[in-house]
Structure 1
Amino acid sequence: MTSKSTRDFVENIDSQRSIKTAFAVLHKTMRTASSGRQYLALSLTDKTGRIDGRMFPDSKVENLFNSIPTGTICQVEGAVTEFPPGSGKMNIVINSLQELCDEEYQLEDFIATSPHDQDKQVKEIRKVIQAMENQELKSLLKSFFCDQEFTKEYYQAPAAMIHHHNYLGGLLDHSVEVLLICKRLCELFPQLDRDLLLTGALLHDVGKIRTYDYHKVKIEMSRESILLDHLYLSAEMVHEKMRHLKFPDELSQQVLHLILSHHGKVNLGWGSSVNPKLPEAVALHHADNLDARVKEMMDK
């Protein structure tokens, strides 16, 4: 039985050695080595990060593949190796892997959460809303951020399944980071409509509260998001609020444009339904992309 008080976290695995500890199985796939031998490749995780695992079973790989459900917590025994050699990247050659019962582990050891001070982030959002001069945009933001049911989801949701900010609280982290980048852009380019851009920063990804289902350690796409995507869901949620608030048509169109174009030009294939055509839309796209790409590189 794995101890509940001590375990080997991914962040501490930095040398070749034997290991016996618990990880969550995030992904699995069957692969073929250069020798022609099939093996099972696993992505293992805990709250501190991910590590790859390889298992070369004596029996059929298909049988082992089917016996290991993703999202479960398993005790892993094997050897930490550097692979590819000279890469500095550690992974585990697994000798044995056994699914654990709920009472054999502490779930909080495997749930990745934001490292940031949530209260400080919320204060930043409230400060921005309070300073808004455009009363329509202030009312729109209040309709979201004064809604306890919405903020409970917004502050806990992940921002992605695999890529940047893919942990509980990731959406809040990403949104506030984009907000701070946009505030700096407004200082560099005072011609920008500050209130419009900061509204876009806070609302561009609100649909992500409906995008992901989170069960134990596994983030999955919701059925709704598979069919509609988070840009549409975000625009729909914001449009509904603006209709209720009887928003001016032009301002409504500008806000929706920022949301629907924030993944950049349509021909990039990143999901935008329209090219950014306002300076604020261009600024939001690059702020969003900058935050996502930098975060992704830092997490590698």
Structure 2
Amino acid sequence: MEKTQFVENISESTLVDSLFLIKRADLRSKRGEQFAHLTLADRTGVIEAKFHGEKAEEIARIIQVGRVYKISGKGRINQNGEIHVFSDSLETAKDIFAGPVTLKPGQETAFIYTPADLNANALEIQKIIGTIKNGDLKLFVACCLDGRFYGCPAAIRRHHEYTGGLCEHSLETVKIALSLVDIIPRTDINRDMVIAGAVLHDIGKIFCFDKVGYGYVPNDTYNLIEHITMGIMYIDEYKNLISDDQLLQLRHIIQSHHGSYGDVIPLTVEAWLIHEADSGSSLLRSVVDDLAETPTGQKKKGLRSEKFLWHAV
């Protein structure tokens, strides 16, 4: 079966009958009724789907996340003004029970959603790393990055939740941090440490997602340990490349980059700078993406930012 319909074309009352990648699947309930809640994706975007009826529990249980399924239903606008796919048809259940669809070589590109330019982002962040003056620190950062860093998402939902999102978020963070270094006078900031810390602040996330099928799925490490601990453990593998003082500073930056929401509060100017740059990248990305889904002239609470936003005319 060829893909003939895309997320960007689904609106109110659109009859949906096409192939979609399943990013997430779980069983939820509302007013005592259970329904299978799926997140569908293709190269044009992401959309939520809800399947009601007696087969809902079984649908949520058998779905293989990261694989492509034939999905049918109807576009419907929910109470928050967001479009989703709704179905309670047994025919829909039958399509899902038939199992994932085997794609032809090259066909998978139609199902991988990412607004990020993976190659351009990788080249730009490598160029910035190349400006680190301390040779040992430059080598250390380069050794910490591998293929997982460039393909991994940065989150499940809130921000940069797509393929290549981790690299894009890290690139934004380091660029914001360096711009602040350049514009704020009378500062004594270690530029090399800012670059290293900003690039590596979320490096532990490469252990929190598994590549499954054509997508990324959060694993038990994501739920039980999280990325900060994993990041500190990971950079210690290369600790012989840098001084003890440099390692301590990087550990502190990773440990404290959540600011007042974390277990450790930033104490160095570099740590505070990276916390603010990280917050700027993640918050603005979530706000911008929420507003993109908000009708012009309307106000609503964004799913990613969890803030009330108004789409200016």
TM score, norm. by length of structure 2: 0.78
1:45 corresponding residue in structure 2: 41
Separation (CA, whole Å) in 1 of partners of 2:44 and 2:224: 32
1:136 corresponding residue in structure 2: 136
* Corresponding residue to 1:195 among 161, 167, 192: 192
Seen in structure 2, the aligned counterparts of structure 1 residues 67 and 261 have a Cα distance that, compared at 3 Å, is closer
SS where residue 28 of structure 2 aligns? strand
Separation (CA, whole Å) in 1 of partners of 2:214 and 2:112: 5
The AA in structure 1 aligned to 2:237 is E
Seen in structure 2, the aligned counterparts of structure 1 residues 221 and 104 have a Cα distance that, compared at 3 Å, is closer
Separation (CA, whole Å) in 2 of partners of 1:211 and 1:37: 32
Seen in structure 2, the aligned counterparts of structure 1 residues 162 and 241 have a Cα distance that, compared at 3 Å, is same
Separation (CA, whole Å) in 1 of partners of 2:59 and 2:247: 54
* Corresponding residue to 1:281 among 258, 271, 276: 271
In the alignment, structure 2 segments of 5+ residues that lack a partner are: 291-313
C-alpha RMSD of the superposition = 2.6
1:103 corresponding residue in structure 2: 102
Seen in structure 2, the aligned counterparts of structure 1 residues 82 and 175 have a Cα distance that, compared at 3 Å, is same
Cα deviation, residue 261, structure 1: 0.6
CA deviations over 1:46-101 (Å, ceiling 9, x no partner): 233222223332x46444544545444322222212222xx542122213321354
Separation (CA, whole Å) in 2 of partners of 1:258 and 1:174: 16
1:126 and 2:119 correspond? no
Separation (CA, whole Å) in 2 of partners of 1:71 and 1:211: 15
- After TM superposition, list the pairs within 5 Å mapping 1:9-24 onto structure 2: 9-24=6-21
Separation (CA, whole Å) in 2 of partners of 1:83 and 1:294: 25
Seen in structure 2, the aligned counterparts of structure 1 residues 195 and 51 have a Cα distance that, compared at 3 Å, is same
The AA in structure 2 aligned to 1:56 is H
Separation (CA, whole Å) in 1 of partners of 2:55 and 2:129: 59
Cα deviation, residue 139, structure 1: 3.2
The AA in structure 1 aligned to 2:276 is H
2:258 corresponding residue in structure 1: 263
- After TM superposition, list the pairs within 5 Å mapping 1:1-300 onto structure 2: 2=1, 4=2, 6-25=3-22, 26-33=24-31, 38-57=34-53, 59=54, 61-84=56-79, 87-94=80-87, 95=89, 96-97=91-92, 98-99=95-96, 100-103=99-102, 106-118=107-119, 120-144=120-144, 150-190=145-185, 191=187, 192-242=189-239, 244-245=240-241, 247-265=242-260, 268=261, 272-300=262-290
Separation (CA, whole Å) in 1 of partners of 2:142 and 2:63: 46
Seen in structure 2, the aligned counterparts of structure 1 residues 249 and 32 have a Cα distance that, compared at 3 Å, is closer
Separation (CA, whole Å) in 2 of partners of 1:128 and 1:155: 15
Percent of counterpart pairs with the same letter?
A: 28
SS where residue 248 of structure 2 aligns? helix
Seen in structure 2, the aligned counterparts of structure 1 residues 61 and 166 have a Cα distance that, compared at 3 Å, is closer
Cα deviation, residue 180, structure 1: 0.9
SS where residue 102 of structure 2 aligns? helix
Separation (CA, whole Å) in 2 of partners of 1:64 and 1:136: 52
Q: Does structure 2 conserve the Cα–Cα contact (< 8 Å) formed by 1:53 and 1:93?
A: yes
Seen in structure 2, the aligned counterparts of structure 1 residues 28 and 219 have a Cα distance that, compared at 3 Å, is same
Separation (CA, whole Å) in 1 of partners of 2:142 and 2:103: 44
Seen in structure 2, the aligned counterparts of structure 1 residues 129 and 10 have a Cα distance that, compared at 3 Å, is same
Separation (CA, whole Å) in 1 of partners of 2:276 and 2:135: 26
Q: Does structure 2 conserve the Cα–Cα contact (< 8 Å) formed by 1:264 and 1:282?
A: yes
Separation (CA, whole Å) in 1 of partners of 2:252 and 2:42: 38
Give the aligned length: 279
Separation (CA, whole Å) in 2 of partners of 1:289 and 1:217: 29
Q: Does structure 1 conserve the Cα–Cα contact (< 8 Å) formed by 2:150 and 2:167?
A: yes
The AA in structure 1 aligned to 2:86 is V
